[in-house]
Structure 1
Amino acid sequence: MPLKIQKELPAYSVLSNENIFVMDIERSMQQDIRPLKIAILNLMPLKIQTENQLLRYLSNSPLQVEITLLQVKEHESKNTSSEHLDKFYTYFDDIKNEKFDGLIITGAPVELLEFEEVDYWNELVEIMEWSKKNVFSTIHICWAAQAALYHYYGIQKYELKDKLSGIFAHKVNNPAATLTRGLNDMFFAPHSRHTAIKKEDILKVDELEILSESEKAGPFIISTKDCRRIFVTGHLEYDTDTLQQEYERDFKKGMNPLIPENYYPNGDTQSEPLNTWRSNANLFYGNWLNYQVYQNTPFDISKITEKMNLSKNSFVPSEDLD
């Protein structure tokens, strides 16, 4: 799916060099279609890295995707330059009167804080509430998944004895689900977190379905029955070396981290890790864009609320976007 992004954004050259189709705004204006409007609320410290990771998987399809990068006001980023943020990011107040086909809320390294102790918690709650009427489908990643499950359903997170870090095997619970369509019966995905949610707590909520889970990592892809809210407890978007960077960072800090499981060949940290989840990430994000966004949202995005009401309990194909 060609991405409609600013040519100066670092991801433009990174993805172009990977032969991924991206286009600048001038070229996009020559195509007579409505692009899918996707917002990314980036809560990760290394924002450029996260941009590259997510945009890589929102690409290579016949449709345009127009990306809006969001940041929170209540937190000052220490790892991304203010020049980058000022040029490429906007605040929620600037877009809250718009409608979006999709929204992605990233994880954040604040797991060991109580939700209400996070400095931008109230702002995040406002955005999640806004998304109920202004976004057709939202993906919440890692900590954001825990935060949303807590906000919407009161599901608590629990601190783990040791950080869960590595590549874990997962099974698909519902082969008919569009989000997991095409995934192998057993597939791999990265996790990196200090906290977890319990399966039994999710099963108490009739509106939720566990589409995929891991014996070691627990519930992985959770969704409402209409797929308007999706919760991913791991990091399918991670690069091959992301877990390695995190391990080396924690090691240098004297945190004595455990070696990420199933990541380094033979557990040897001097060996180059192998990427065993890239195709799974492509399938998941492709399924989301196709089945939950493109096939459902109306051409007139201002009518998105009407479409939400129609598709609360069933998959309703939308008119074409061209």
Structure 2
Amino acid sequence: MKLVDVGGRTMAYHRAGAGPALVFLHGGWSDGRAWGPQLAGLSDGFDVIAWDAPGCGGSDDPPREMTMADYADAVAALVAELGVEAAHLCGISWGGGLALAVWQHHPELVRSLILVGAYAGWKGSLPPEEVEARVRRLLAEAERPPAEWMDAYLPTFFAGAPPAGSLELVRSMMLDSRPGGLVPMLTAFADADLNAVLPTIAVPTLLLWGEHDDRSPVGTVAQALRSAIPAAELVVLPGVGHEVNLEAPEAFTTEVRRFLQAAGATLIRVSRATCALCGQQAASEDVPLTWMTSVEDGRKRLYCDRCARENVRSIEGKLDPVYW
């Protein structure tokens, strides 16, 4: 684990390898140690970074009132501090929703998305009564030591017997979890509905799910994301639960590598992408939207040719057009 000061707060991360940046975002009751198999398995071809979210692992606790936009800003600040201009993002569960928030608020950072057992926010993907029950349980458990309640979660994380060491790792991370991290991150997620973000995604996207994920079911949550995200690919690993990367690490890492190798040469056709300024959609394919930098705020967005000419300036090293 390494430490860095970001905006006056200590942030912890794990890093290995060299190559295109690949940033892993963990879920709740977890930290960057959850990505140990991928740090080892993908560092031969990628600069693999696994953060500890604010309030998790070795990172300082965040302010009590956090939004998913705040967490997205924290990701952006960390990768900037580490000298990364753009990265492939892979997030599991809460981390998958965070990856969507990073796309929403910092699209210039995102080369591709891998969403694993993810949600478009709890509010965006779960029935209201389920969200209410999860929050009520979270707040009650925050008043008690993790050892008193964590074993009740373990059957919901794995479909079968996990590989040696995985169960012990999850237990260790849960024992180390603290209210100052869990409560802000999961209450922010409970309030989040990121469904409006999904049709705007204009980078290669992999949805990677466990067949028996009871926390984020394939038949409802994954299929809804697949329907809403243009050109998203859904891969379901058989016999696996919610903690896909720990229960089936070899299969998971193989799928991630395959996807990233293809993503580097993929031109995405995004049927529902719109110009960031005028909001118009193309009536036919093969009309390019181009990544440009806004004069107003310096962020990269997709613009049609007319709005690009009138309102934005080209950036050095501009990305290829993305066809919609």
TM-score by length of 1: 0.41
Q: Which has the higher helix share?
A: 2
Q: Which has the higher strand share?
A: 1
TM-score by length of 2: 0.41
